[in-house]
Amino acid sequence: MKVGFIGLGVMGGPMAGHLAAAGHEMTVFNRSPAKAAAWVVTHGGVAAPTVAEAAAGRDVLVLCVGNDDDVRGVVAEALTVLPLGAAIVDHTTTSAKVAREMAALSAAGGRAFVDAPVSGGEAGAKNGKLAIMIGGEADAVAKAEQVMAAYAKAMKHMGPPGAGQLTKMVNQICIAGVVQGLAEAVAFTEKAGLDPTLVYEAVSQGAAQSWQMDNRWATMAKGEFKFGFAVDWMRKDLGLVLDEARANGARVEVTALVDQFYAEVQSLGGRRWDTSSLAARLMKN
């Protein structure tokens, strides 16, 4: 397909690379032109100077940008040039509200919009092993899946526009609680004078086992927090969760508390530390 890709950051750059490797005809745009130029040197394709030029003539336009306002701006510009029948696939983590707005706006102009937030972090993007939660109309989702297959480990159509973003909120609720539990466990291990390696070997074989434990226990115990998804990004995502919960009446007390803990990590200078840095606030004394 003819694919445009907007946003070549930590996640978007590798994802676009998998699309190029899969044989799609790529045009890319990044707010920092140097990053787009470097991507083209590595992967081929064309670096466009504007969103509109990246979107013109494309079958599918993929977004991996920062927030709701970024998505609104990109979609508004892209819809002026995207061919009728084209699909916009948004991998940005946003509110469900903006996903519904963009779907309605796109449909009114004869295009489709699919919200498709991802889980798996930088490693998942680089290895082409992302889990993708999808909201949108069935025909548009089927078209999007042909593109997303290049970097997906799993794809699940969750329902109408916005359902993908709501599912990503569930994902972040789960992560927040698990990582806080691990942080407390690591800190307790330290205070109790136990060997963290032996503790991991003992408890990871039972009901306490999780992906977070297998991949972050050892580095948390060492105070190493340089493994991908940043605290600033997690706080943005948890803010979306809390906003949605206020609207739908869901009780997310633990999530709200962990969000406050991440604010404390930010105050320690950990804005770009990864999410496992919840341990830092417990092990600082």
Average pLDDT of span 262-282 = 97
Is the per-residue pLDDT at 109 higher than 90?
A: yes
pLDDT for the residue numbered 283: 85
List, in sequence order, every beta strand (DSSP E) within the chain: 2-6, 25-29, 46-47, 60-63, 87-90, 112-115, 118-119, 130-135, 152-159
- Mean pLDDT rounded to a whole number for the chain: 97
Position 274 scores a pLDDT of: 96
Note the maximum CA span of the chain.
Answer: 65
Residue 171 burial (C-beta neighbours within 10 Å; 0-12, 13-18, 19+): middle
- Cβ partners under 8 Å of residue 206, min gap 6: none
284 pLDDT more than 70: no
pLDDT at 60: 98
**Which three-class secondary structure state does DSSP give residue 246?**
helix
Q: For residue 202, what are the contacts with CB-CB under 8 A and spacing of at least 6?
A: none
SS3 157: strand
Query: Which pair of structure tokens corresponds to residue 220?
Result: 């948390």
pTM recorded for the entire structure = 0.94
Do residues 176 and 259 touch, judged by C-beta distance below 8 A?
Answer: yes
Residue 39 confidence (pLDDT): 98
pLDDT over 60 (residue 285): no
Query: Is pLDDT above 80 for 181?
Result: yes
Tens-place pLDDT, residues 17-53: 999 999 999 999 999 999 999 999 999 999 999 999 9
Residue of higher predicted confidence among 284 and 275: 275
3-state secondary structure of 52: helix
Q: Please count the other Cβ atoms lying within 10 Å of the Cβ belonging to residue 76.
A: 12
pLDDT in tens, 196-229: 999 999 999 999 999 999 999 999 999 999 988 8
Please give the Cα distance from 46 to 215 (Å, whole number).
37
Of all residues in the chain, the percent with pLDDT exceeding 70 is 99
222 is catalytic: no
**Contacts for 210 with CB less than 8 Å, ≥ 6 apart:** 178, 182
Treating both helix axes as pointing N-terminal to C-terminal, what angle do 96-108 and 163-191 enclose, rounded to 10 degrees? 160
Q: Report all structural domains of the chain as residue ranges with CATH numbers, in order of start.
A: 2-161 (3.40.50.720), 166-282 (1.10.1040.10)
Tens digits of per-residue pLDDT, 97-108? Answer: 999 999 999 999
> What is the rounded CA–CA span in Å between residue 145 and residue 227?
28
pLDDT for 228 equals 80
Token pair in block for residue 252: 């997310």
Q: Is 177 exposed, middle or buried (0-12, 13-18, 19+ CB in 10 A)?
A: middle
What are the pLDDT digits (tens) for 53-89?
999 999 999 999 999 999 999 999 999 999 999 999 9
- Is pLDDT at 245 greater than 60 in this prediction? yes
* DSSP 8-state code for residue 275: G
- Among candidate residues 168, 191, 236, 284, the one labeled active-site is 168
